[in-house]
Amino acid sequence: MASAAGSTAPPIARGAMHGVAPLRAGQGVSFVLRRLHSLTGIIPVGAFLFEHILISNATAISGPAAYAKQVAFLGGLPLVFFLELFGIWLPIAFHALYGFYIWYRGEGNVISYPWTGNWMYTAQRWTGGIAFIYIFWHTYTMRFTGIDLHANPYASFGKVQNEVFQTPLFLFYVVGLIAASWHFAYGIWLFCAKWGIVSGEVARKRFLIVCICFFFLLSGVGLASLATFRSEPLQVVEPGTAAMVHHAAPHRKPVE
Ligand code: HEM
C-alpha cells in the first residue's frame, strides 16, 4: 500500500492547515478518473444532496401534504428514471467505488500524524464509507421496495415514518445523515483547495469555517425533517388518495 497520502501527495497528511496538494497531475486514465471523482463529488452528487436535504426533505417540516406535493413534483419530472440513473445513481456509484479505491491506495496514519489535517483526511474516508452503506440501504428501502412513491406520492410521508419510527433505524438515519453532511461540507473545502478556487492559508482557514457552518446547516435541517417524521401522527401507507393524508393529519391544509 502507498503512504498516508500516497494517492494525493503528502501535504494532505501533514495537515489541512499546512496546505492541500493540488490534484496530482497523474497520467492518462488515472488523471481523468481522479478529476472526475473530485468533480462528481460536487456535481451532480453534492448538488443532489443539497437538493435532497435542504429543499425536498425540508418540505416535510411543513407536514405530510407539503411533502407529498414535493414528491409528486419530483416523480412527475420528465424522463425521471433516466434523470435518476444518469444524474444520481451512476455518478454516486462511480464516486463511491473510486473513493474506496483511493482509500485502499492510501493510509490514514492518524497515529503517526496526529494533527488536524490527518484526522480530516481519515474522517473523509470513513464518512464516505458510512454514507455509502446508508445511501445503499436508504435507496433500496425507499425506492425499490414497498409502495412505489412515484405512483403514490401521498404515501411518502407514512413510508418514511414507518422506517424512522423503528428506533435502531432512526439512529442509523441520524448517523448516515451526519456522515453524509460532513463528507459533503468538508468535501467542498477539499475541492476548492485542490482546484485552486480558494488559495492561501488565511483564505482556506476562513473558508473552512464557512464549510463547517454549512455542515451544521445541512445536518440541522436534515435532523429537523427527521424530527417532524417522528412527531407527526402515523400516516396511512396504501395506494390511495390525498384524503388519507388529510384524515390522519386534520390540522394540515389540504393540497390541491
Ligand atoms: C453523499 C454522497 C457523497 C458526496 C456528496 C460526496 C462528495 C465529495 C466531495 C465534494 C469530495 C471532495 C472532492 C475532492 O476531494 O476533490 C469528496 C471526496 C471524497 N469522497 Fe465523496 N461524496 C459522497 C460519497 C462518497 C462515498 C460513498 C465514498 C466512498 C468511500 C466517498 C469517498 C470519497 C473520498 C475517498 C474522497 C477524498 C478524495 C481525496 O482525498 O482525494 N465519497 N466527496
26: pLDDT strictly greater than 80:
no
Q: What does the pLDDT average to over 15-44?
A: 78
Packing angle between helix 167-194 and helix 201-231, nearest 10 degrees? 160
Q: Assess contact for 52 and 44: CB atoms under 8 A.
A: no
**pLDDT tens-digit profile of 161-186?**
998 888 889 999 999 999 999 999 99
- Indicate if ligand 1 lies below 6 Å from the C-beta of 189: no
Identify the structural domains of the chain with CATH numbers, from first to last.
10-248 (1.20.1300.10)
- Indicate if ligand 1 lies below 6 Å from the C-beta of 100: yes
**Which contiguous run of DSSP H or E holds residue 121?**
helix 116-143
Report how far residue 251's alpha carbon sits from residue 214's, in angstroms, rounded to the nearest whole number.
33
CA of 124 to the centre of ligand 1 (A): 7
- Indicate if ligand 1 lies below 6 Å from the C-beta of 13: no
pLDDT at 115: 63
- Name 206's Cβ contacts closer than 8 Å, sequence gap at least 6: none
pLDDT at 12: 42
Which pTM value belongs to this model?
Answer: 0.85
Q: What does the pLDDT average to over 86-103?
A: 97
221: pLDDT strictly greater than 80:
yes
CA of 128 to the centre of ligand 1 (A): 6
Report how far residue 96's alpha carbon sits from residue 119's, in angstroms, rounded to the nearest whole number.
20
Q: In terms of Cα–Cα distance, which of 148, 167, 164 is closest to 156?
A: 148
Mean residue pLDDT across the chain: 85
- Indicate if ligand 1 lies below 6 Å from the C-beta of 180: yes
Q: What does the pLDDT average to over 218-241?
A: 89
Report how far residue 68's alpha carbon sits from residue 74's, in angstroms, rounded to the nearest whole number.
10
7: pLDDT strictly greater than 90:
no
C-alpha grid cell, residue 238? 396504501
Report how far residue 207's alpha carbon sits from residue 135's, in angstroms, rounded to the nearest whole number.
28
CA of 139 to the centre of ligand 1 (A): 18
pLDDT at 255: 40
